[in-house]
Amino acid sequence: MIRRTLYVVPETPKEVREEFRREAARRGVRFLFESGEYFLAEENAPDLAWATDIAWEAYEVDAASITAAAKNLKQTAHDLGKKSTRWLRLEGLHHRRAALVAENLATGEAPSLSYRRGANRPDSLRPSEGKPALAGFFLLSPERALAVFDSLTPYPGGSAPFAEEKHGPPSRAYLKLWEICARLERAGLGIPKPGETALDLGSCPGGWTWALAELGARVASFDGAPLDPAVAKRPEVAYEKADAFRLVPRAADWFFSDMICEPKRLPELLARWRDAGCARFAVSVKFKGEADEAALARLREIPGARLRHLRQNKHELTWFLAPDLKRI
């Protein structure tokens, strides 16, 4: 088996793939294979912010026959100490052949996630000793397969299927907040808990505020426009009409923002709220035209920060900051 780095980048919007290719070129990354969402590079290739998912544990294995492919995938998992591996068949090439390989493996579907109050989530979000490992595979060619382990997202290959809500949230923005929560859990950082304080700047119409309230957090929600009435009347929510850039910073357990603003305005704003005592951040960084690299450089300079493209993001990144944040 040959170790590789697998990047996952959605095919739309096209601006994201363009940003990813520019970032890869700047970092000197050469791709060995490209198909659909997948970009394969050499072992230990660098972290690229515009990749929605990265697996540094990706292994090319021989797949000269259906039987050989299944045997070698199992052997790879065994050699890596991945006991009781359950496999997800990913959308690579040669679908019919891959389906036949899957019939010889212990396979399953990626279970859906929900962050509504009281929802149960699968153990695969945070693998640990004694729990079955979750791996993905797809075919690079009729004779070569790729085994994918330990990716940044909850499920190998970047899939994060959510149990969507038809009633309750005032917009689909809550799905981005849910993906943020899935990332936080995957990174072992936890999510907002009942009784914790969460700030939501630029909150209208209230998709993120709704999602935070569902988790039981006490939400201070700020925007110049009003919240959806059903969200505003929730007991966990305190709404204030305000300009995010004129607020006096205060301490909170969590700081969230999905507001539209020029990226160059964010570094100073976020530094002030961090200095005021906010502990953990997840903030959208939205772009018109090509990404503002100077602003991104300043955001990266804040100690402990990480930038990542989410599957729910459009032409934007999400900026994370939390104690002991190593990967997300």
* Beta strands at 2-8 and 38-42: parallel, antiparallel or unpaired: antiparallel
Q: Which of 69, 110, 68, 74 is nearest to 89 (CA)?
A: 110
Task: Give per-residue pLDDT as tens, 93-112.
Answer: 899 999 999 999 988 777 88
What is the distance of C-alpha 322 from the center of its chain? Answer: 15
Per-residue pLDDT for 287 more than 90?
yes
Pairwise CA distance, residues 16 & 24, whole Å:
12
- End-to-end CA, the chain: 27
pLDDT, the chain, mean: 93
Per-residue pLDDT for 31 more than 60?
yes
Report the phi/psi class of residue 17: left, alpha or beta, with left for phi > 0 and alpha for psi in -120 to 50.
Answer: alpha
CATH architecture of 174-321: 3-Layer(aba) Sandwich (3.40)
The mean pLDDT of 222-240, rounded to a whole number, is 97
State residue 128's pLDDT score.
Answer: 55
Considering the entire predicted model, what is its pTM? 0.94
Q: Compute φ and ψ for 32, nearest 5 degrees.
A: -90, -25
* pLDDT band at residue 117 under the 50/70/90 scheme: confident
Per-residue pLDDT for 123 more than 80?
no
DSSP, collapsed to helix, strand or coil, labels residue 311 as: coil
Per-residue pLDDT for 198 more than 70?
yes
User: Which residue ranges make up each domain of the chain?
Assistant: 2-149, 174-321
Q: Of residues 193, 286, 288, 326, which has the active-site annotation?
A: 286
State residue 74's pLDDT score.
Answer: 95
* pLDDT band at residue 91 under the 50/70/90 scheme: confident
State residue 324's pLDDT score.
Answer: 87
CATH fold group of domain 2-149: VC0802-like (3.30.2130)
Give 188-256 as a DSSP string: T-----TT-EEEEES-TT-HHHHHHHHTT-EEEEEESSPPPHHHHTSTTEEEEE--GGGSPP---SEEE
Under a CB-based contact definition with an 8 Å cutoff, are residues 56 and 44 in contact? yes
286 noted as active-site residue: yes
Task: Give per-residue pLDDT as tens, 257-267.
Answer: 999 999 999 99
